[in-house]
């Protein structure tokens, strides 16, 4: 009978009592016909020992072997007749491979301690190795020469194998990927670290001292010892379990696995590995221990009530069944996602470890992320979000190729793993088929929802050397695909790693750029087309870093938004631009206005309207001289669209003007324009450039001017470079002109010189 490794020890204790009771009945109370109850008890105990396959060997120091169970006979290959009545050394058990049991019995009969419990390994006559959990007790008499010595054992070989497989299956798997520089001993983590532990995203790595402070004081010594043992070469890998402090103040159990990686010359280059959250498993173990405590209590009660033996054994079998069910539930909890029912990240990592252990194996991994799930989840709630995750998983499963597995990686991310040879072209065909499979809408109550996906892909061993690198490279490809827009797919190439390194460098430099005064503003004049005089300026941000040099705005603005550094940068831009304009007003140029670009990240920030009002008050600048520029894409897919429009309404109430930048390059409609509280349309350069070339372009530019004016908006044309462009725009009523025809963007000192020339009549 195979026992759960968690309850084997407890179960052995109870079986020993059963064996002792059996020997009491079978040896001390012979079966007289007048003792019917004794006969029934003997029959029940024999059946019990037979059913549970218990090895029982009882020896009287004088009479020799007095009992040898049927399972003992079956396992050793010796008949009861060969053993019964024989002294310990003449039973033939040692020759049958049971020398360990013979040694225990000899020690007991010779007067050694009579209470023994240990594991003994045997080799049966058929050549199979077994592990027996053994208990030896003295029944009656004293320690020398009287009483009966009872040795009982059960086979726990399979339980040991299960326990070992369970341990090996969890080694090396993890949800959080980490890496440490061998020189600086600084650690970086995957995004899952922030999601699970609740810490804010940060660009600088963690020091070893920081991480040690997060480990529970009771676990710190053993965790550090295991790490040092591996780093010193004493252990082949780093494996430890300990509690770590989250940002919320509670501790979570983590299973750590790692290894020092070497370069081709055998030098240490980095220490990398993974962390798996095993809190649920640890909590479940506590429940199992509580169940074991109940079983131990049951064992003590059985010892006092031999007449209820049958009832208690049945209760034990029932408890064993319940514990087996709990173990099955624990396995499902550890390896399967409760929402989608799909295998989870832990099972993916385990599958990758076992699959890629074969040096000749080939595989491909597709990292799949939904494009607009967050907006749907925010607008409809988590209940519909869970439904959508489940249906998205079912749809992907329906398109699953042969020899492939689908996993839910976390959030709205899925991973498809293909085992075997597959070409890059076939992989791209599969990605296109998966994306097309998401074109039909999903049912949502009485309505429909449209969900699209983007995919990053990587091949093994062509583009990765192991499981962690395969996942990381597919994730990098997914990031590139999402930058291209919805419903995109990208196959990993080595340039993505360089791009990531470049981005990380730029992120680090951006974080300190304000403190080092690396930003400056330049100002491009806006000219009133009817008077030909300057009416204001657009403030444009420039960044010059000592290491990176001049960095174009289209290279760093998006990164600043991603790391939310745009908030302090944007506030600095607003304050600096308003101070510049106030200085112009104080110099006699009272009518000029300033236009400043803002990011959606700034607009979403709580208290943004209050910040704007504080800046105007601090500079003492009337609100009507400030205009902010937004892009139409800022609202197109935002679940917070109504909230953002409400903030713009508050800014308008303060008197601040609002311009819609790059009009016509997105998806604007007339209804949409009426909904936004804007005062100005900015005609993009792409509509200005072709005015001189063909009639269609002139008609389109005229239409934009007509639409804007019909809605009561001012029109500013950007990128005007020739006199004929200016003449056309002026003739068709464009209100303001901006471009190199009049001036490039200028520094603050250059603006003063330009204004003096314009005052001298140069305009």
DSSP per-residue letters across 698-757: HHHHHHHHHHHHHTT-EEEE----SHHHHHHHHHTT--EE-STTT---B-HHHHHHHHHH
Q: Last residue of a domain, which of 493, 522, 539?
A: 493
**Residue 758: predicted pLDDT:** 73
CA distance linking residue 557 with residue 551, whole number of Å: 10
Site of tokens 């710190």: 220
pLDDT value, residue 430: 95
What residues form DSSP beta bridges with 578?
A: none
Asked whether residue 423 is domain-assigned, the answer is yes
Tell which residue, 487, 480, 479, 400, has the closest CA to residue 435.
487
Asked whether the predicted pLDDT for residue 282 surpasses 80, the reply is yes
**556 plus 457 within the same structural domain:** no
At 357, which CATH number? Answer: 3.30.70.270
Q: What is the pLDDT of residue 403?
A: 83
What is the per-residue DSSP string for 130-156? EEEEEEEEEESS-SSSSSEEEEEEEE-
Instruction: Tell me, yes or no, whether 612 and 664 share the same domain.
Output: yes
Verify that 608 and 478 share a domain, yes or no.
no
Instruction: Could you list the beta-strand ranges (E) of 72-209.
Output: 116-123, 129-139, 148-155, 176-181, 186-189, 206-207
Residue 333 lies in a domain: no
- DSSP state letter for 127: S
Which residue range forms the structural domain that includes residue 582? 513-759
pLDDT at res. 485? 87
Q: Does the residue 314 lie in any domain?
A: no
More confident residue, 281 or 269: 281
Compute the average pLDDT of residues 554-569: 93
Mean pLDDT of the region 264-283: 84
Q: Is 166 a residue whose pLDDT tops 50?
A: no
| Domain identity same for 222 and 132 | no
Instruction: For residues 123 and 210, state if they share a domain.
Output: no
Last residue of a domain, one of 255, 277, 299: 277
- pLDDT tens per residue across span 438-476: 999 988 776 788 889 999 999 999 999 999 999 999 999
Q: Report pLDDT for 557.
A: 93
Residue 518 maps to which CATH number?
3.20.20.450
Burial 552-577 (b: 16+ CB within 10 A, else e): eeeebbebbbebebbbebbbebbbbb
Are residues 734 and 611 both part of a single domain? yes
Average pLDDT for residues 754-762, to the nearest whole number?
A: 69
Tell me: pLDDT of 1 over 60. no
pLDDT number for residue 164: 60
- Sheet of 404-410, strand order: 404-410, 413-419, 363-370, 453-460, 489-491
Q: Is the pLDDT of residue 306 over 70?
A: no
* pLDDT for position 286: 79
Q: What percent of the chain has pLDDT over 90?
A: 52
Q: Are residues 558 and 701 both part of a single domain?
A: yes
- pLDDT tens-digit series, residues 728-747: 999 999 999 999 999 999 99
Domain of 252, CATH number, reads 3.30.450.20
Q: Is 340 within the bounds of a domain?
A: no
pLDDT digits (tens, 9 = 90+) for 593-616: 999 999 999 999 999 999 999 999
Nearest to 662 by CA among 635, 630, 638: 630
Cα gap 14→657, rounded to integer Å: 84
Please check the confidence at residue 583 and state whether its pLDDT lies above 90: yes
- CB neighbour list of residue 317: distance below 8 Å, 6 or more residues apart: none
Picking from 477, 356, 388, 357, the residue whose alpha carbon sits closest to that of residue 427 is 477
If you average pLDDT over every residue of the chain, what do you get?
84
For residues 150 and 219, state if they share a domain.
no
d(CA 314, CA 607): 68
Q: Are residues 715 and 676 in the same domain?
A: yes
Q: Return d(Cα 589, Cα 397) in angstroms, integer.
A: 67
Residue 391 has pLDDT above 80, yes or no: yes
In a domain, 304, yes or no: no
566 and 462 in a common domain: no
pLDDT of residue 607: 93
In angstroms, the Cα distances linking 264 to 236, 268, 498 are 18, 10, 21
198 is a domain residue: yes
Question: What mean pLDDT do residues 521-546 have?
Answer: 95
Q: How many residues does the chain have?
A: 763
- pLDDT per residue over 43-78, tens digit each? 545 555 555 578 999 999 889 999 999 999 999 999
CA distance 139 to 530: 116
Please give the Cα distance from 332 to 338 (Å, whole number): 9
Choice among 276-280, 434-438, 495-499, 583-587 with the minimum mean pLDDT: 495-499
Structurally, the chain folds into a number of domains equal to: 4
* pLDDT tens-digit series, residues 689-731: 999 888 988 999 999 999 999 999 999 999 999 999 999 999 9
- DSSP letter, residue 306: G
Evaluate whether 717 touches 737 at the Cβ level (below 8 Å): yes
Structure tokens at 192: 């899952």
Structure tokens at 631: 């892009």
Q: Where is the domain boundary, 464, 493, 522?
A: 493
In a domain, 651, yes or no: yes
pTM, two decimal places: 0.51
In angstroms, rounded to a whole number, what is the distance separating the alpha carbons of residues 336 and 326?
Answer: 15
The answer to whether position 329 is within a domain reads no
Report residue 31's pLDDT band, with 50, 70 and 90 as the boundaries: very low
Same domain for 359 and 270: no
Same domain, 473 and 526: no
Per-residue pLDDT of 114-128, as tens digits, reads: 678 888 989 888 888
- Which residue do the tokens 């997105």 mark? 666
Categorise residue 734: left if φ over 0, alpha if ψ from -120 to 50, beta otherwise.
beta
The answer to whether 525 and 738 are in contact (CB under 8 A) is yes
**Residue-level pLDDT at 145:** 55
């Amino acid at each position: 009978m195979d026992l759960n490794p968690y309850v084997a020890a407890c179960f052995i204790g109870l079986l020993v009592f059963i064996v002792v009771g059996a020997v009491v009945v079978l040896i001390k109370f012979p079966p007289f016909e007048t003792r019917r109850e004794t006969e029934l008890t003997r029959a029940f105990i024999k059946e019990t020992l037979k059913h549970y396959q218990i090895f029982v060997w009882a020896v009287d120091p004088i009479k020799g072997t007095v009992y040898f169970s049927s399972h003992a006979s079956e396992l050793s290959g010796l008949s009861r007749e060969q053993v019964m009545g024989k002294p310990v050394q003449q039973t033939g058990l040692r020759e049958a491979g049971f020398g360990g049991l013979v040694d225990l019995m000899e020690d007991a009969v010779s007067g050694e301690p009579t209470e023994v419990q240990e594991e003994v390994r045997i080799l049966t006559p058929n050549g199979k190795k077994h592990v027996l959990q053994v208990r030896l007790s003295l029944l009656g008499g004293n320690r020398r020469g009287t009483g009966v010595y009872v040795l009982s054992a059960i086979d726990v070989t399979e339980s040991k194998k299960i326990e070992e497989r369970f341990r090996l299956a969890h080694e090396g798997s993890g949800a959080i990927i980490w890496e440490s520089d061998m020189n600086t001993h600084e650690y970086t983590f995957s995004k899952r670290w922030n999601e699970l532990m609740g810490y804010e995203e940060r660009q600088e790595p963690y020091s070893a001292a920081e991480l040690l402070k997060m480990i529970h004081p009771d676990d710190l010594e053993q965790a550090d010892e295991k790490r040092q043992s591996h780093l010193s070469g004493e252990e082949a890998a780093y494996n430890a379990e300990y509690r770590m402090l989250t940002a919320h103040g509670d501790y979570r159990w983590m299973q750590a696995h790692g290894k020092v990686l070497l370069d081709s010359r055998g030098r240490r280059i980095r220490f990398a590995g993974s962390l798996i959250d095993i809190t649920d498993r640890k909590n479940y173990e506590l429940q199992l221990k509580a169940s074991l405590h109940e079983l131990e209590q049951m064992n003590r009660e059985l010892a006092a009530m031999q007449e209820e033996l049958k009832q208690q054994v049945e209760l034990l079998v029932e408890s064993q069944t319940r514990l087996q069910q709990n173990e099955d539930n624990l396995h499902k909890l550890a390896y399967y996602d409760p929402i989608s029912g799909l295998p989870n990240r832990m099972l993916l990592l385990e599958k990758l470890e076992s699959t890629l252990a074969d040096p000749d194996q080939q595989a491909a991994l597709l990292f799949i992320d939904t494009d607009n799930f967050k907006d749907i989840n925010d607008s409809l709630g988590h209940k519909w979000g869970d439904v959508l995750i489940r249906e998205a998983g079912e749809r992907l499963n329906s398109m699953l190729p042969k020899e492939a597995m689908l996993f839910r990686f976390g959030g709205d991310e899925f991973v498809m793993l293909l085992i075997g040879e597959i070409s890059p072209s076939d992989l791209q065909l599969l990605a296109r088929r998966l994306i097309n499979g998401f074109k039909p809408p999903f049912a949502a109550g009485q309505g429909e929802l449209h969900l699209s996906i983007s995919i990053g892909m990587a091949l093994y061993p062509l583009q990765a050397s192991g499981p962690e690198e395969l996942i990381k490279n597919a994730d990098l490809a997914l990031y590139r695909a999402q930058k291209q827009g919805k419903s995109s797919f990208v196959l990993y190439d080595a340039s993505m790693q360089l791009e990531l390194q470049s981005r990380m460098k730029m992120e680090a430099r951006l974080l300190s750029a304000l403190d080092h005064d690396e930003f400056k503003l330049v100002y491009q004049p806006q000219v009133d087309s009817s008077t030909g005089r300057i009416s204001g300026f657009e403030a444009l941000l420039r960044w010059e870093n000592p290491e990176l040099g001049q960095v174009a705005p289209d290279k760093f603005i998006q990164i600043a938004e991603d790391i939310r550094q745009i908030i302090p940068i944007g506030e600095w831009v607003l304050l600096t631009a308003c101070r510049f304009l106030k200085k112009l007003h104080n110099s006699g140029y009272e009518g000029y206005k300033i236009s400043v670009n803002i990011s959606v990240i700034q607009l979403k920030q709580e208290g943004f309207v209050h910040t704007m009002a504080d800046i105007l008050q601090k500079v003492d600048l009337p609100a009507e001289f400030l205009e902010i520029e937004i892009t139409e894409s800022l609202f197109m897919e935002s679940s917070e669209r109504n909230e953002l429009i409400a903030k713009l309404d508050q800014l308008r109430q303060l008197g601040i003007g609002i311009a819609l930048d790059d009009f016509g390059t997105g998806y604007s409609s007339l209804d949409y324009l009426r909904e936004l509280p804007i005062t100005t349309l900015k005609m993009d350069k792409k509509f200005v450039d072709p005015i001189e070339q063909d009639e269609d372009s002139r008609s389109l530019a005229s239409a934009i001017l007509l639409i804007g004016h019909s809605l009561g908006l001012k029109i500013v044309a950007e990128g005007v470079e020739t006199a004929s462009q200016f003449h056309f725009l002026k003739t068709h009523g464009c209100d303001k002109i901006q471009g190199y025809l009049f001036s490039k963007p200028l520094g603050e000192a250059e603006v003063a010189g330009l204004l003096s020339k314009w005052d001298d009549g140069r305009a």
